[in-house]
Chains A and B, each alone.
Chain A
């Protein structure tokens, strides 16, 4: 076995964790943008808190998938073909969510905006739910035969444990997103974000503890919780407490750690398996029977060692550039039309497009 096999398992766990830390609050903001804002300008402000960031955050998912493909082709093939319908649905939810950001502001019509708002909310809710179910199923076990093929049906994916894990993830995203909004908004929206966080926090805390215990029992390796499981429980309790103490900055740190340790718990408890077979333990997919040979892993290690720090560096810089809060007042009025006269009055609202003076477009 190549020494790089465990290294690549760690890389994949890190990519999934990074994805959920970052996209986690995007999902939260997506679910909450209609709750914390009562006007269109408020909803726009909420979306613009993640506007420059969400696309880069989603690349973590693409990298996680591609890394599984390249480093553990057997794992990637079994998981993605076995969870076929669930993943097709996930692609659908990620797609409508992605275009919703871009397209909702592109037409100034209430019906249009409402449609995209709803799609954004639903997409942001279903995406973490489905991914949570998928990751938890790896640990819970699915019917897999000795040829590493999934032999179950769609309904086999909906194990109670997996669904519970999915709901937990949604709740963590909600709290993570609400605390993020507390750090990125002002005025009435800030107050509402805080209220939402305090409503969600107890549920998040309870579900995380339930999830950790259930995961620990499902993995069934030791009596005591391991360090990462303990960390998840402590971070979740801290997140709830800090939310009620109005310590938004520290609460966000706590939700970040909660998110990270929940995802890492799945991977730590999974190792050295990558997919448990409920048919027979002999059919378990492990890091060894699914990994790529040493040469491929070496080539990709060079790339990951060079590029991942670079990515972290410029992505961190983006967060620094867009660190300031976004307020509703920046988005008052419809995004269009704006006439040159607006500029003379120094209207603060930046706009994408000028007026559409159809009359002047008529043929001469």
Chain B
């Protein structure tokens, strides 16, 4: 394997792992803040117990999310030196802003929230969890702005063959960014809610407090329905925008080698991954791809072959087609997973109406396992986004193969790759086991009436 392959594998591996924790953090921080707000307003003991219960799960995740994020930041310089040198003045700016503007907020206030239960007034303490929630979402904003610039570079001029930032506002109003960020926020909410639903469902199945976990199960279902709906709607619009700026990405997602108008969407197909072999479409829905990719019933979608010819003329000879297999199945994993999550959430709504939520063992079992889906969808979505950008590192500006650190040897890369796989594998396992352990613990006991006015003890290490 070349240094380009190894650098890509390492970056993909660490990013995918990092993004297991990010959406849980953003989602659960928001939900914990909601729960604590409910406690603040109603003074109902159940909400306090839920806040502390899910706050603990949040904490286990944040720890590993933070440290894996550090790896992300270092890797640009370590593995992608030529890239960093070329675009640091643009891509680096949102990263620096993220640290100062968002990450400090999240980290400092998380410490205040955990340890400040008995030091701060109830109101100030409530504000600290909202600061954590806001900080984590704000963090993602800067990262998405940086990533979107790689998908659709804006706000720069070329000076001596190098892109130079000349409009920071354009970077933060990039349509790919606006829609991509909205999508990530809804996906994070979906993930956090699905985790909360799964934990509540497990607890209800195993004799956890019905009053309390019934409440959190209902709350997660009420939030999950709009969250997954908006994730899909925003994702659809994002597809249209990406189709405009990165037509290869969308064409590859449908394995569409020839230009079509109108275009059908295949539910499932065999073959068609390479060259011009004609795929066997199992079920094709007419006009659906046109709608998804262009918002028009009869919209035209350019095929991979003509696009490749056009790119060859524009950028010189080469193969500009991304991995079709990843695109095609990434797209479907995301779409089908989304539909499945929506159906499960609607099933839950129906169970709430029939007042069988806490007792329907089948639903509770399905809802527990449903938590796996958002993680698969998130990973599929990022594969679609990032692999679909290939062979470009920055669309139209730099090829991935030209972005690596020229002096980092294959030996170094093997060492670091194995090192990160072992490290992440171990910590990921520990994290998962701890999450499961704490998801299955009993709720914190309700405080006695005499304690109700005393400060709540801090969460300590």
Contacts and interface: CB of A to CB of B under 8 A. Distances in A.
A106 B434 contact: yes
Interface stretch (A93-101, A183-191, A236-244): A93-101
A351 B86 CA distance: 51
Interface stretch (B99-107, B185-193, B236-244, B315-323): B99-107
B419 interface: yes
Interface string B418-461: 01100100010011001001101111110110010000011111
A98 B63 contact: yes
Interface in B49-98: 56, 59-60, 62-64, 66-71, 73-74, 76-79, 81-82, 84-93, 95-98
A66 B94 CA distance: 9
A103 B68 CA distance: 15
Given A292-B89, A300-B97, A361-B207, A88 B416 contact: yes
A59 B56 contact: no
Among B97, B415, B444: residue with most chain A CB under 10 A: B97
A252 B443 CA distance: 42
A292 B445 contact: no
Interface in B26-64: 56, 59-60, 62-64
A356 B434 CA distance: 14
B119 interface: yes
B107 A55 contact: yes
A56 B111 contact: yes
A94 B67 contact: yes
Interface string A322-364: 1000000001000000011001100000111111110011111
Interface string A87-118: 11101101110110111111100000000000
Contacts of A65: 73-74, 77
Nearest to B434: A106
Question: What band does the interface of chain A fall in when counting residues whose beta carbon is under 8 Å from B?
Answer: 35 or more
A129 to B, nearest CB: 17
Given A56-B104, A303-B100, A353-B441, A102 B84 contact: no
B427 A66 contact: no
B166 A62 contact: no
Given A76-B88, A293-B89, A315-B104, A344 B407 contact: no
B445 A78 contact: no
Contacts of B437: 106-107
B107 A52 contact: no
B457 A350 contact: yes
A278 interface: no
Given A99-B67, A102-B60, A81 B100 contact: no
Contacts of A80: 74, 76-78, 81, 84
B103 to A, nearest CB: 5
Interface in A39-57: 44, 47-48, 51-56
A299 interface: yes
Determine chain A's interface SS by DSSP, over half rule: helix
Nearest to B120: A321
A69 interface: yes
Contacts of A94: 67, 70
Interface stretch (A168-176, A226-234, A304-312): A304-312
A84 interface: yes
A223 interface: no
Give the interface size class of chain B.
Answer: 35 or more
Contacts of A177: none
Contacts of A155: none
B267 interface: no
A318 interface: yes
Interface string B106-122: 01111110111011100
B147 interface: no
Given A47-B461, A105-B461, A354-B443, A56 B107 contact: yes
Contacts of B283: none
A88 to B, nearest CB: 4
Interface of A: 44, 47-48, 51-56, 58-59, 61-63, 65-67, 69-74, 76-82, 84-85, 87-89, 91-92, 94-96, 98-99, 101-107, 147-151, 154, 292-293, 295-296, 299-300, 303-304, 307-308, 311, 314-315, 318, 321-322, 331, 339-340, 343-344, 350-357, 360-364
Interface of B: 56, 59-60, 62-64, 66-71, 73-74, 76-79, 81-82, 84-93, 95-101, 103-105, 107-112, 114-116, 118-120, 159, 164-166, 168, 205-208, 405-408, 412, 415-416, 419-420, 423, 427, 430-431, 434, 437-438, 440-445, 447-448, 451, 457-461
Instruction: In the A-B complex, list the 7 residue pairs whose CB atoms are closest, starting with the nearest.
Output: A73-B88, A80-B77, A350-B457, A70-B92, A292-B89, A81-B405, A102-B63
28 contacts: A48-B461, A52-B116, A55-B66, A59-B108, A69-B91, A69-B92, A70-B88, A76-B84, A76-B92, A77-B88, A78-B81, A80-B74, A80-B78, A81-B79, A84-B78, A84-B408, A85-B415, A88-B415, A95-B67, A103-B63, A149-B81, A296-B90, A300-B96, A304-B100, A343-B445, A354-B441, A356-B442, A357-B442
Given A322-B119, A350-B118, 13 more contacts: A44-B460, A48-B460, A56-B108, A88-B415, A149-B81, A295-B164, A295-B165, A296-B93, A318-B112, A352-B56, A353-B441, A355-B442, A361-B207
